[in-house]
Structure 1
Amino acid sequence: MSGMFSAYVISQILRKKFLISYTRSSNLTDYLNPNSFDWKYNSSILKGKSADYRDLFCKVPDAIRERNLTGLASMFTKDVNFVRMNWDYTEHFRKFLGLQNVIPWLLELHYADIYLKFFNTLFKPTNMITEAVNKTVQNVSKLACAHIRMGGSDTIPGDDTHTEGKQLKHVWNFLKVMEARNYSIFIATDAQIVREKANALFKHLLEAEGRILHIDWGATGDDLVNGYKKVVVDFFVLTKCDVLVLTKSGFGIMAAYLNSDVSKLYCLTANELVPCSRYTIHNYYPGDLLSH
């Protein structure tokens, strides 16, 4: 999402049309539809046009860093400019002269509301996703959720560790209190061992169907379609929670950004669970957490 956002801002600064290219194997429009304008890329537009590709994965171009509009324009001189990026350049964009005449809300809003506005401008869930989300939370009056990003688990080998197992006692204790207060419990996680523990702890745990996988880690094997669907459904359920617990993860942070109605938000630190908000998350999880 951060890469899409940065590419979108660049397109607006340079007065170019913004489109999203995706493959048949990961068809974005199975999960998200255009909202206020049609961003669907079709290869037919390449006919008779010049094209270029820039890989800006984990990079900040000099033109962005130096707020050089001429340099930025020189990076994208073709009729069709493909770009791969994954970082949020907001702090750099805000120093571009004249930005208030192009995207004033980028200067006016907090990160949380920037992403809320950006997402709602571009996207709305497909009927398939909406129906799956509604099925997951049907007949629920109060919903307490946690996004538990472990990393380094057997479920996704090779991933870096995000959360230590000993930290989870704070999450479990908190959610048990919520369950006693008649909250329904929903857990989104990247680790099967967490899923199993949650099922053992809670009487009426809500779950989206499908296997656990991580979109960025090139999953293989069976049931990939339902696995990718589960990722999206988990995300949208998190945007509907009344109470939300976060661990160190851009996925959870983005869900919190889009959940403008959340009444209570908590961030898991090394030693405790602390109250936070959509506007203070980065105090607890600093760094490029939105880079993926």
Structure 2
Amino acid sequence: MKPLSAHTLPVRTLCATLLCLLCATAHAAVYWTPERLPMVHLQDASRYAVNPDGVLAAATVDSLDRELARLEKETGVQTVVIAVRHIEGDDPYTFGQAVADRYGIGHKGRDDGLLVLLCTDDRSYSILTGDGLEGVLPDAVCYRIEQQVMVPLLKRGEWDQALLATVDKLDRCIRQDPEMSAYTEEGEADGWVGLLVAGVLTLVVLPMAVVLGRRKCPACGKRKLEAVQEQHVVVQGQRKVRTVYRCTHCGHISHHDRNDIIQPGGGMFWGGPAGGGFRGGGPMHGSFGGGHFGGGGASGRF
């Protein structure tokens, strides 16, 4: 066997070093931003699950897409499920809000958007609701679904099952399935833990949310709008809940309408989704309808 020359060793060492660097670059963590996140629904109206890091199995993505397509067709609710390893800033609530604001998930006037976010390596999650969903998915219901369904599975590293089970529960709550009363009705199961959480929310989170969650005044641009009245009105034949705001800085009066989801008889008030969904001849580009998210939902870590 021919001995290695003095020139061969440095070359081989350099090649090995370059190979290691290439491998490290190929596996470098991607920290997603709302701007870089591939919103698959815009390319294909039948897709709702965003899975750029391959966190979820292909079969799971297909199941989510089918269930969420049915949900939109039958109730009008537009949903986006996002599963990634990392997000820039490591704040699931802020990231989810930014995605919802950027794309306008849901329909304008109905504000029936829903966003579910999982960041596996950041070990964080978030469920965010548009203004029009807060009647059937208030913050407390989102929190219970997370704690009783989502988090136990996430702690075991069962990403696919966690999102499938969570979306199933959200779907059934939106449809007002009577079997969901364990999540939609507050009971003894919440116990002292619920009281503790409520105390923290009251003393710490809510004062911050009051400031950060306020709408901007269209007249002066200050985030000083305060809700002063809520009314039930009819706009173009549809029942709405109208919230009247007054700017504490300049006094400007404005209002925001959202769907009155529950009719007096108790039924759902949504129509079908605006625009078509599936047509022959290949995938049809999807769109979002300009829905608004006002800060509803719940976020956390596991």
Question: Which of 1 and 2 has greater Rg?
Answer: 2
Q: TM-score, normalised by structure 1?
A: 0.27
> Whose RCO is larger (CA < 8 A, sep 6+)?
2
Q: TM-score, normalised by structure 2?
A: 0.26
